Amino acid sequence: MAAVKKFPKAPAHPERVCWGCNLYCPAKDMRCGNGSDRTQHPAELFGDDWDQWGLEADAASAEPSPADEVPPKV
């Protein structure tokens, strides 16, 4: 069984690597042939806090809302 590469959250020089597949090729020597442009790292596209996006919504949906509570039987 092959080990999965851990995806870096904040690489030192993301512009030097194509992030399009699990090969992580140098930007000037892409082996996968996925196009002429390299795939940017999410930090380049969305900023340094890219891995935190949506977590507030997930936490809010995990909390029960008043409508979800069952009223007590009388």
pLDDT tier for residue 57 given thresholds of 50, 70 and 90: low
Task: Give me the phi and psi of 53, to 5 degrees please.
Answer: -60, 135
| Structure tokens, 53 | 């996006």
Is 90 exceeded by the pLDDT of residue 13? yes
Which amino acid would we find at residue 71? P
Instruction: State if pTM tops 0.75.
Output: no
Cα 17 to Cα 11: distance, rounded to the nearest angstrom: 10
- The C-alpha angle 29, 34, 37, rounded to 5 degrees, equals 65
Determine the pLDDT at residue 4. 75
